[in-house]
């Protein structure tokens, strides 16, 4: 599991930062990629990355401002041209389907795969035996959502030494025991599989927040997360501007991560007023309040570890 940043700028792109798009690669977990927001130029950024649009499974839109959605038509149609055939589920606020479908229709776009729309509402928006995705509304000028991606705990490891001591022969019985079944050995010994499995391996938690002022929902979604992606459009000297435009400062992001007990904070959505060397002040400001902070750059990747760093 890894976060890969395709775009880390705020409303206006710059020479150093494209507008927002973030990939969560789940190649080991399910062989797919999930994308959070799709600002203009996302498909170009993907061409310069190791990511493949054909592996896109879910696309989560935080809100309908242009710097988060204007790349959708291009990416979705290019996915067809690049051989993508598996369905894509598009999660987003009310109005997303009404906005996107006319563009695809009037441009006579042909998708070689099914596009499924799911309107985002607070609560669980997706769940299967591997993951649960929970969302909540943040504090922005329009409806803006944050997403909490929770990987479910994995079964513990087999206690190989115990199995050997019990005389369990390698082979199919190992699989049954790993599933927690009770098996009878050829000599009549009964083995309770549950007693031969270690503690469950905790799943990872990743939080990706849309544009927002500091708010309780952001803290709730970030509680105990292994990684939190939080906007940091301004530094605290422009706190009044951040408040007026419903954005966060780097300090706001750090205080939210600290209150949530998160393990790592990654800053993104950086205003174009901060050139690369000036963006360092945002990082330093956040680290004063939450030391385990990094600032994302376009094409930066962050492996997700379930242990605190």
Task: Tell me: is residue 140 an annotated ligand-binding position.
Answer: yes
The catalytically annotated residue of 28, 37, 67, 143 is 67
110 labeled binding residue: no
- Does the annotation place 65 within a ligand binding site? yes
Q: Is 67 labeled as ligand-binding?
A: yes
Q: Is 289 annotated as a binding residue?
A: no
The question of whether 67 is a catalytic residue gets the answer yes
Please give the structure tokens belonging to residue 15.
């020479």
The binding site for Zn(2+) consists of 63, 65, 67-68, 140, 211, 269
Name the residues annotated as catalytic: 67
The binding site consists of 63, 65, 67-68, 140, 211, 269
């Amino acid at each position: 599991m890894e976060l890969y940043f395709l775009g880390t700028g705020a409303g206006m792109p710059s020479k150093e930062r494209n507008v927002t798009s973030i990939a969560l690669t789940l190649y080991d977990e399910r062989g797919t990629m999930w994308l959070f927001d799709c600002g203009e130029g996302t498909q170009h950024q993907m061409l310069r990355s190791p990511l493949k649009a054909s592996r896109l499974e879910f696309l989560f839109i935080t809100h309908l401002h242009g710097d988060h959605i204007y790349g959708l038509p291009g990416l979705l149609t290019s996915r067809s041209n690049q051989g993508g055939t598996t369905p894509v589920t598009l999660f987003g606020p009310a109005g997303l389907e009404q906005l996107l479908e006319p563009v695809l229709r009037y441009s006579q776009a042909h998708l070689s795969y099914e596009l499924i729309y799911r309107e985002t509402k607070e609560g669980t928006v997706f769940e299967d035996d591997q993951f649960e995705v929970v969302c909540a509304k943040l504090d922005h000028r329009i409806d803006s959502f944050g997403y909490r991606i929770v990987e479910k705990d994995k079964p513990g490891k087999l206690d190989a030494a115990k199995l050997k001591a019990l005389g369990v022969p390698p082979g199919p019985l190992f699989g049954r025991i790993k599933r927690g079944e009770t098996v009878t050995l050829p000599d009549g010994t009964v083995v309770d599989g549950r007693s031969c499995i270690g503690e469950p391996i905790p799943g990872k938690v990743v939080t990706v927040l849309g544009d927002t002022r500091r708010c309780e929902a952001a803290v709730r979604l970030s509680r105990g997360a292994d990684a939190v992606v939080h906007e940091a459009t301004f530094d605290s000297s422009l706190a009044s501007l951040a408040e007026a435009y419903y954005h966060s400062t780097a300090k706001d992001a750090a205080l939210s991560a600290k209150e949530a007990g998160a393990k790592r904070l990654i800053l993104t959505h950086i205003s174009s007023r901060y050139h690369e060397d000036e963006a360092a002040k945002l990082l330093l400001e956040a680290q004063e309040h939450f030391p385990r902070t990094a600032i994302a750059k376009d094409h930066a990747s962050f492996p997700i570890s379930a242990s605190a760093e």
